[in-house]
Structure 1
Amino acid sequence: MSSYAALAGRTAVVTGAASGMGEATARLLATNGARVALLSRRRDRLDDLAAKIVADGGQALVVPVDVTDQASVDAAVAAVHEAYGPADLVVNNAGVMLPNPIDDGRVDEWTRMIDTNITGALRIIRAFTADLVAAAAEGRTADLVNVSSIAAHLTFPNYAVYSATKAALTHLSAMLRTELGPRDVRITNIEPGMTDTELGGHMDNAALAEELRGLQEAVGSLSSDEIADVIAFVTSRPRHVNLRQVMVLPTRQA
């Protein structure tokens, strides 16, 4: 991986840090000198990750959180502020993908995806916007990175609600730029294509899970480290440069 010297000394918050893209991003930011608050529901996984980061000479804070619970988010923010002070780099990565035919009427899955992928992201944005605005006002670099999906644009049968949540996040990112860009807060929307993460493991539809595996075999998958590399790149540019929208696909994915 490249060295991103501009990340040194920054205070980063990464949600969904227990695995996949969140874990890889947290590790890479820490390797390059950022203090990283690790946010996720799985305390044991966070403890393991923090131990690895510290063993490699980095700084990491374990912050168990459920982004679908406002009280949990409030407690997480307090923990971050107590340990590290205000954040200047926030990676909104927590997400869940639960595909099923729309006529199955899986309200439980719809609710979980909306609460995590949209409302959960908004809770984190609300929690740290003041930090980002203050950092920018002081002349420091301030970044909000939302991890959306190429599914925000493409159409896949049985993925309607998941794709809708990601389309909402992509459009939210565009709208936030109109409010926060004039205050020098950068908003970057990352849209990965096929990526090797645990998202597919949440699915309860065996046929769709097998279909996804077949598609990954046909077009290949990006690694979580490769997405982390993109996030580190965009957040280490000069503060007046905003790479606002990045689609990252395996070369063979249309």
Structure 2
Amino acid sequence: MRSVVVTGASTGIGRELVAGLVRSRARVWATVRRTEDAESLRAEHGDAVEPVLMDVTDEASVRAAGERVGAAGPLDALVNNAGVALPGPLEHLPLDVLRRQLEVNLVGQLAVTQAMLPALRAGRERGRDVRIVMIGSIGGRIAGPMLGPYHAAKFGLVGLTGSLRAELAPWGIRVLLVEPGVIATPIWGRGAADGRAMAAGMSPQAQAHYGARMDAAVAGAARSAATGLPADRAAAAVLRALTERHPRPRRVVGRDALVVAAVVRLLPDRAVYRLAAHQAGRRRPAPS
């Protein structure tokens, strides 16, 4: 029976992935921040899931989770899924909002990986096929307006994943990146609420410069929450990354993500820059 840690398991991709792993007869350590989410997972899956209360931004809770998992035996896989999307124009963005985004979506991913690596190494020493899967985003390949902190974190996760892949390769620990497009998960609903709160608190000058764009970003987040790719489809792609004999190092998920990946790969940088500027509402091409 494989043993897998999934972070951010209360909703969305994480929740669906836990269900898929249980169906495949894995033992799942599911990290959540709230007791009620832990109780919900236990009620749904029984002893197949071991909920773990953990906040990826709290070093003590991450360390305690790593010790708890390691004490139970070797680990086969870690899925770093926890994440948030906090919108706002970079010119007026409170730096605490940027720090929060980077802590959850980037620094926290490394903290959890460090905490779980002793158990992952123990699994590898017993000849198991050990994997770490990072949940990135197509937003780690192209950046648009009003989600600068999110893009910064996801671009950073690409580099972090690449370095981890190279560093852990001598021990046969595979490090993989899954890059979904827009997924129908609560992250966008929460992002829309955060965006409305930030827009309401902006100065009159900021409102004049960015009010319409913030409104568009909030509306887009609401649409994403309702019409994005179902979370179980993204979870299925993560499950394939965990189980395929020869998994792809980077896996793009969703038709929109495939289109964006092709555009970024095929178009020159100047054209991609102009595309992003048009999305931001520019009336003239970006200067060359």
TM-score normalised by the chain length of structure 2: 0.78
Q: Is 1:245 paired with 2:234?
A: no
- Residue in structure 2 matched with residue 120 of structure 1 by the alignment: 108
Q: Is 1:22 paired with 2:11?
A: no
- Residue in structure 1 matched with residue 230 of structure 2 by the alignment: 223
2 CA distance for matches of 1:179 and 1:133? 13
- Residue in structure 2 matched with residue 86 of structure 1 by the alignment: 74
CA contact 2:69–2:119 (8 Å) conserved in 1 = no
1 CA distance for matches of 2:37 and 2:225? 26
CA contact 2:133–2:241 (8 Å) conserved in 1 = no
Tell me, what secondary structure is at the counterpart of 2:4? strand
- Residue in structure 2 matched with residue 190 of structure 1 by the alignment: 178
Decide whether aligned partners of structure 1 residues 124 and 211 sit closer, same or farther in structure 2, where only a CA change above 3 A counts: same
1 CA distance for matches of 2:136 and 2:121? 22
Larger radius of gyration: 2
Percentage of pairs with the same residue? 31
Q: CA RMSD in A?
A: 1.8
CA contact 2:187–2:225 (8 Å) conserved in 1 = no
2 CA distance for matches of 1:78 and 1:214? 40
- Residue in structure 2 matched with residue 11 of structure 1 by the alignment: 3
* AA partner of residue 210 (structure 1): A
2 CA distance for matches of 1:152 and 1:251? 14
2 CA distance for matches of 1:211 and 1:62? 33
CA contact 1:187–1:242 (8 Å) conserved in 2 = no
2 CA distance for matches of 1:62 and 1:161? 29
TM-score normalised by the chain length of structure 1: 0.88
CA contact 1:63–1:80 (8 Å) conserved in 2 = no
Decide whether aligned partners of structure 1 residues 141 and 199 sit closer, same or farther in structure 2, where only a CA change above 3 A counts: same
Tell me, what secondary structure is at the counterpart of 1:230? helix
2 CA distance for matches of 1:100 and 1:125? 29
Question: How many positions carry a matched residue from both structures?
Answer: 238
1 CA distance for matches of 2:224 and 2:27? 37
Of 244-253 and 144-153, more deviation after overlay is shown by 244-253
2 CA distance for matches of 1:215 and 1:35? 32
Q: What do the CA deviations read for 1:86-108 (whole angstroms, capped 9, x no partner)?
A: 32110000111101000112212
Q: What do the CA deviations read for 1:42-68 (whole angstroms, capped 9, x no partner)?
A: 2211211222112xxx61111101110
2 CA distance for matches of 1:60 and 1:38? 7
Tell me, what secondary structure is at the counterpart of 1:166? helix
* AA partner of residue 36 (structure 1): V
2 CA distance for matches of 1:119 and 1:104? 23
Superposition pairs of residues 137-216 of structure 1, within 5 angstroms: 137-203=125-191, 204-206=194-196, 207=215, 208-214=217-223
- Residue in structure 2 matched with residue 232 of structure 1 by the alignment: 239
Decide whether aligned partners of structure 1 residues 34 and 111 sit closer, same or farther in structure 2, where only a CA change above 3 A counts: same
2 CA distance for matches of 1:216 and 1:94? 17
CA contact 1:50–1:61 (8 Å) conserved in 2 = yes
- Residue in structure 2 matched with residue 77 of structure 1 by the alignment: 66
Structure 2 spans left out of the alignment, 5+ residues: 197-214, 261-288
1:20 Cα deviation after fit:
0.5
1 CA distance for matches of 2:7 and 2:59? 14
